[in-house]
Chain A
Amino acid sequence: MLRKKYIPHSVAWELTLACNMNCTHCGSSAGATRPNELTTKEALDLCDQLHDLKVKNVNLTGGEPILRKDWIQIATKIRSLGMNISILSNGLAIDETRVALFKKLHIYAVAISLDGATPETHDGIRGVKGSFKKCLETLELLYKNDLPVTVITTVHKGNFEELPKIKDLILHKTRAWQIQIAVPIGRFPKEMMVSEKDFYALALFIASTRKQYSPKKLAIMGAHSIGYHSQIIRNTSVSPVWKGCQAGITVLGIQSDGSVKGCLSLPDTFIEGNIRTKKLSEIWNDPTSFSYSRHPCSSDLKNHCARCKYGNTCHGGCTTVSSSSTGSPHTDPYCLYSIEKRLGITR
């Protein structure tokens, strides 16, 4: 008998598109709820379907996931089925009561967004006055309660230079720090994206900080889109090796209206189906689904990736970054190896 070929170990589930912030870099253009979000019954049924697909980790995101009234019911169901839960939040609505719920759920991670080292920057990006202060209070509260808290910083031209200050700010308020770059989807304007030079400096910063502090003191990680085959810089990611975009291979994204993508960050043109019309397993196991990552051809590689010696395993980097910044899914310009070649960076 054939073994199942692909397993979505990690699922990002947008519980709702409703959000109490208005971030300049939001890739989902979150704010109001989607017109046709899943009902509680549909959401609970989806939990069973995720379990049937052998999902291990469910990342509840949004919008702001805890704004959904039945989030605790859904989270409890997920845990009862033995799957891990991470919550990605902006921290604004987290209080003692919710912290107690997180503890009860034995949450895998609570990730809080912090995008600046000053109220001016953070509040400016997030569009809510006072959110910087509240964010720091939330981090303190989570840390004090011994929850596995992670800070997520989304970097663009508006906050790039504040990274060293953010590091000093969070040193004793978090257990982990994930840094990712903002990409031009949703509300985020392309001209605010970091330059390739800044991107390289960012990788240097992550690698250096990672070496400076033990994981116990500050576990810093670059998101999957930061890296690829540098000949100079240490690994910046949690994974020891980059083997191409995992959207539709080990990762799955579900929108609050039931639409299914390989990765939630991808634009809507990458939607493979909807759980209202098909079972999730049918969409996942359809041999024609996720062809951009499951069956990439070397002819799909464009520009610098076409001649790259890593092309056949890398498949052109992060599909989201690549497609949003170049229009092609297999030509991520934010690649350390190609930047080193273009800028002549040597040891």
Chain B
Amino acid sequence: MYTCNMLTYNIHTLRGGTMDTRRKMNPMLHELGHTLGLNDTDITRAKQTTKSMLGMAIISAVVILIGRIVSSQLDATGLYYVGVSIRDFGFFSRFF
């Protein structure tokens, strides 16, 4: 039973769902989300998934690489510290 549940859990995770939508939410998380009117669905939406973590890792690596090529010391962040514009939302921001 345990193995079966774990398998379902892992498949769900790999499909990009939340890590654990069926297990009871951490009460503190629930309480904190509630202060800004977030329900359980909203809080679940805010959580990382395997897909978002993978996306972050890949995009970070790409940005670090580009940063190192175009400017020493720029690292990952410099290219993104540009301002407050909609134009700062690149194509890649969809993935994390």
Enumerate chain A interface residues (CB-CB to B < 8 A). 3-7, 9-10, 56-57, 59, 84, 86, 88, 108-109, 111, 148, 150, 152, 160-161, 163-164, 175-176, 178, 197-198, 200-205, 207-208, 211-212, 215, 219, 221, 224, 230-235, 237-244, 246, 249-251, 343-347
Q: Are A347 and B37 in contact (CB under 8 A)?
A: no
- Bound-complex Cα distance A59 to B81 (A): 11
Q: Are A200 and B89 in contact (CB under 8 A)?
A: no
Select which of B35, B48, B75, B88 is within 8 A of A238 by beta carbon: B88
Enumerate chain B interface residues (CB-CB to A < 8 A). 19-20, 23, 25-26, 28-29, 32-33, 35-38, 42-43, 45-48, 52, 56, 59-60, 63-64, 71-89, 92-94, 96
Select which of B28, B42, B74, B96 is within 8 A of A250 by beta carbon: B74
Residue of B nearest to A165 (CB): B37
Which 10 residue pairs across A and B have the least CB separation, nearest first? A109-B85, A250-B78, A239-B80, A207-B46, A208-B46, A175-B86, A176-B86, A201-B32, A215-B89, A241-B60
Residue of B nearest to A6 (CB): B73
Q: Are A246 and B87 in contact (CB under 8 A)?
A: no
Chain B residues whose C-beta falls within 8 Å of the C-beta of A175 in the assembled complex: 86
Chain B residues whose C-beta falls within 8 Å of the C-beta of A198 in the assembled complex: 35
> Nearest Cβ distance between residue B35 and chain A, in whole angstroms?
5
Q: Are B84 and A111 in contact (CB under 8 A)?
A: yes
> Nearest Cβ distance between residue B43 and chain A, in whole angstroms?
6
> Nearest Cβ distance between residue A8 and chain B, in whole angstroms?
9
- Bound-complex Cα distance A224 to B37 (A): 24
User: Given A197-B32, A347-B20, does the pair A9, B82 have CB atoms closer than 8 Å?
Assistant: yes
Q: Are B76 and A243 in contact (CB under 8 A)?
A: yes
User: Given A208-B43, A208-B46, A240-B63, does the pair A109, B77 have CB atoms closer than 8 Å?
Assistant: no
Chain A residues whose C-beta falls within 8 Å of the C-beta of B37 in the assembled complex: 164
Can you report 10 residue pairs joining A to B where beta carbons are below 8 Å apart?
Answer: A9-B74, A9-B79, A9-B82, A109-B84, A204-B42, A205-B46, A224-B81, A232-B47, A233-B47, A347-B23
> Nearest Cβ distance between residue B82 and chain A, in whole angstroms?
5
Q: Are B28 and A344 in contact (CB under 8 A)?
A: yes
> Nearest Cβ distance between residue B44 and chain A, in whole angstroms?
8
Q: Are A234 and B47 in contact (CB under 8 A)?
A: yes
- Bound-complex Cα distance A98 to B53 (A): 43
Chain A residues whose C-beta falls within 8 Å of the C-beta of B46 in the assembled complex: 203-205, 207-208, 211, 233-234
- Bound-complex Cα distance A315 to B56 (A): 20
Q: Are A204 and B32 in contact (CB under 8 A)?
A: yes
Select which of B36, B71, B84, B86 is within 8 A of A215 by beta carbon: B86
> Nearest Cβ distance between residue B51 and chain A, in whole angstroms?
10
Select which of B76, B78, B80, B84 is within 8 A of A88 by beta carbon: B84
Q: Are A86 and B84 in contact (CB under 8 A)?
A: yes
